[in-house]
Chain A
Amino acid sequence: MLKNLLRYDFHSGMENSCYRFFVFLISMSFCVLSFFLNAHQFSEATGVSTAPTFADCIVYLFIGPTSPIFDTVRVSLPRAWMLFYLIVSYLTGDYVDRDLHGAGRIILLVSSSREQWWLSKSLWCIGSVLLMFGTVYLIVGIGCVFCGVFSFSISEQLICSLLGWEIHLPLPLFLLHFMILPFLTATALSTVQMVLSLVVKPIFSFLTVATYYIFSLFFISPFFVANYAIPTHCSTFIQGGVNPFQGVPILVFVIVFSWISGRFILIKKDMLG
């Protein structure tokens, strides 16, 4: 039964999010393009012929705020970072609510198992986030084929010039900061948003999660779990930052806790009312 539910969710969810996925694709393509343009400008200005790498572009997209966030004037918010995470939230925003008011209700009745229905929705959510990360890596990979090199080594000079940070990380730490933690954070907050949309209107759950993401840029604390998706807020990069190794179990806990809360809410929910 779960297999059929999953098939339905992936088909219906993709159909539902088709336009939004296009928005995501366009936005991320522009972000990647802006990176390669900046890298090209850097090469021209300095005369250093550094070919931007896959890792450079991933760092550029996922690094988060590169300057101290508290200042006397308005902070420059990390554009590519915000664009990515807010569109991920936007994409997974209303599927459960929409489905509950449409064909999903019938599917729920036919499946006769609320737990499996909810599990299927949760797996769809994880799958969607995975697809979006995959899409970004694909866009970056295509960009590297034409304008750079496909390598996991970070061009320190280029990154220092573009972002003002000297980053030299071994591969496992690079993967943890720029690939694993961002994925887990996006999944955790999308799951939380999905649970919230069972209680309030999807637009309010989206607003709540967007607010939470933006507040995380200002407050370095494990209570703002989006900090784990901001490498510059981690203890590897700054003193007093959040511990990235604690991030993995915390984010997994958030995902599991959200799933259990959602299941509890769904079991109590009056579907036909």
Chain B
Amino acid sequence: MHVLISRLFLVLALGMVLAVTPATAADPNPKNWPAILDAAKGQTVYWHAWAGEQRINDYIAWVGTQVKEKYGITLVHVKLSDTAEAVSKVVAEKAAGRSSGGTVDLIWINGPNFAKMKEAGLLFGPWAEDAPNFKYVDVESKPAVRSDFTVPTDGLEAPWNMAQIVFYYDSARVKAPPKSAKALLVWAKANPGRFAFPDPSNFLGATFLKQVLTELTPDKARLLKPATEEDFDKVMAPLWVYLDELTPKLWRAGKAYPKNSADLRRLLGDSEIDLGLSFNPAEASAAIARKEIPDTVRTLVFDGGTIGNASFIAIPFNAAHREAAMVVADFLMSPEAQLKKQDPEGYGGFTVLSMQKLTVEQRAAFAAQKRGPATLSTEELGPHLPEPHPSWMTRATEAWKKRYGVQ
């Protein structure tokens, strides 16, 4: 039957010659970096990255001009509304037996998507820790750069950004913002319709669930181990009790959710809500600079701390341009690219590098960056709470859909 369909389709293709990708030679060896640089020259890297945030898209475009100039690499940002699309693509290619010449070269990834790809053997590597700029990465005091939602990265992905949950609020309207999950519930009851979190199928929405779960659960260590059928309901119970009370008090009474962080921020700009959250501590300041939200907006972290993690980039096992993909990843970890990324008027994403490992000039450049009016200092942000094991996110999102996804 399948042969028949394929034939039919070939006829439809009007006899046009199909592009056949030749199976190429041996895997590139990241330990021989000069050879990688040589091979990378002239390649085009298709970087599949979530594109819901203009500032990040602009940063990726900047990276494109840099790698073109420095390494002769053409970088194409394949814009995704959900990282899962890229993972799905690689999985489909694997299923179709395409073990080389794959269409995805680089993925911005973390958490469950990484865990899934690692487990299924869909990633190229290890390579990340052989990249020259990895030596600047703060592996000592930022354990998240080597442990992605508790899953060891094993050199299969390179860290490029630090993220931490902050809540933002309009200080002109909210005089005493809530500083814990419980206080948030009290606040939401007093101000119905003025707080929202994104749909948990989006990572920020899912992280909000994990934040509340981490705060409410008596046994926090349990979340660092994989979720199992036996105690899932028991562990999740406090979260459902909480959400049963919170959901009717949400924006639109929980009948619709913002799609992602940018959509949520727009609601604040439109004064539909007074309180929201972000995974980027500098996001509010950047949005103030762009006049998207009022300049009275400030951020806070909960007294018990908030969840933080690192964002990574990984290369699929069958990527067509693995050499150039590694070079781009390496550039993303360079002090230059990290400095640019932390620019509060640009992306505003926090660096993964250790200041101690940089030169005096580089350190000074980082120190000279102004924090925006709404950005907390490192001390105020405090150490972040660890991400639960990815299985919690996957299961919690599914369970949430069953409970609250049909209103």
Partners in one complex: no
